[in-house]
Amino acid sequence: MRIDLLTLFPEMCEAVMSESIIGRARRKGAVQICCHQIRDYAYDRHKRVDDSPFGGGMGMLLKAEPIALCMEDVIQHLGCKPHTVFLSPEGKTLTQQRVRELSNLNGLMLLCGHYEGVDERVLEAYVDEEVSIGDYVVTGGELPALVLVDAVCRMVPGVLADDECFQMESHYGSLLEYPQYTRPAVWRGHETPQVLLSGDHAKVKRWRRQQSLKMTYRKRPELLRSADLTSEERNGIGRWEYGIQPHKD
């Protein structure tokens, strides 16, 4: 999979995407991430990429032409237009389901905004989707883009050691992950659940499933509406056999 990031801060993106799991995946060729400096496509001698908004207002806007030229350069190089995403607080909130869908694409082009935003005309001309990582505002689109890249890349085959690494974790099947423990078995008087020490893999699997249901019910009950549950699990949610007590406001 190839991901192209259009940004004013490519060094910032490279620094993050060259480390840890994603960095190793890039080095072995499991994913290709290319950062493009939008300022390189500014046509005046000052390399200016922003200007004041028509109609007045606070701050500056990224101009349409440098972004368009950058996008067109990427498209020409690839021979096709990849699915293009603008990272914006006005976009739909990113979910694990959308991450899975995006990871199945051959490529992505991500536009990182800055200042007070981007000229609407370039968004209308090139952007397929706006994505938000939450209902809050940060200083630029680089951090949201890096979150999206990390979430998508780890779903790509060959990035993680085993597909089970992400299939068993929070949100993959609309359930939160079960609690986990490691040595020592007793830490400061707190014991590890005995079932995890039993060596009985069937019991451990059942315990983990029940704990995922419990954690989801307590912390994010709305996720259960889209979870793949058995009829027994649906009937049991909130009952004592799972050790769950309904919240009291």
Per-domain residue ranges of the chain: 2-153, 168-242
Structure tokens at 214: 């419990």
Alpha helices in 131-230 (DSSP H): 142-153, 164-167, 201-219
The whole-model pTM stands at 0.84
Query: Residue 166's pLDDT is what?
Result: 52
Q: What digits encode the pLDDT tens for the residues 129-140?
A: 999 999 999 999
Q: What is the mean pLDDT of residues 124-147?
A: 97
CA angle 13, 19, 142 (to 5 degrees): 20
pLDDT class for 167, splitting at 50, 70, 90? low
Structure tokens at 178: 């079960």
Q: What is the pLDDT of residue 234?
A: 85
CATH number for the domain formed by residue range(s) 2-153: 3.40.1280.10
Q: Is the pLDDT of residue 161 over 50?
A: yes
203-241 burial string, b = 16+ CB within 10 Å, else e?
ebeebbbbbbbbbbbeeeeebbeeeebeeeeeebbeeee
Whole-number pLDDT of residue 143:
97
Question: Length of the chain, please?
Answer: 249
Helix (H, G, I), strand (E, B) or coil at 50: strand
Cα angle 165-147-94, degrees, rounded to a multiple of 5: 90
pLDDT confidence band for 165 (50 / 70 / 90): low
Upper half-sphere CA count for residue 159 (Cβ side, 13 Å): 22
Distance CA 175, CA 110 (A): 28
pLDDT digits 0-9 by tens, 180-212: 999 999 999 999 999 999 999 999 999 999 999
pLDDT band of residue 226 (cuts 50, 70, 90) is confident
Query: How far does Cα 14 stand from its chain's mean position?
Result: 17
In this prediction, residue 236 has a pLDDT band, given cuts at 50, 70 and 90, of confident
Tokens of 245: 């007590």
Q: What letter does residue 81 receive in the DSSP assignment?
A: P
Q: What local confidence, expressed as pLDDT, does residue 237 receive?
A: 80
CA 125 to chain centre: 25
- Per-residue confidence (pLDDT) for residue 45, from 0 to 100: 84
pLDDT computed for residue 116 by the predictor: 87
CATH assignment of 168-242? 1.10.1270.20
pLDDT in tens, 44-86: 888 999 999 999 888 999 999 999 999 999 999 999 999 999 9
**Which residues is 187 bridged to in the sheet?**
190
How far apart are alpha carbons 82 and 85 in whole angstroms?
9
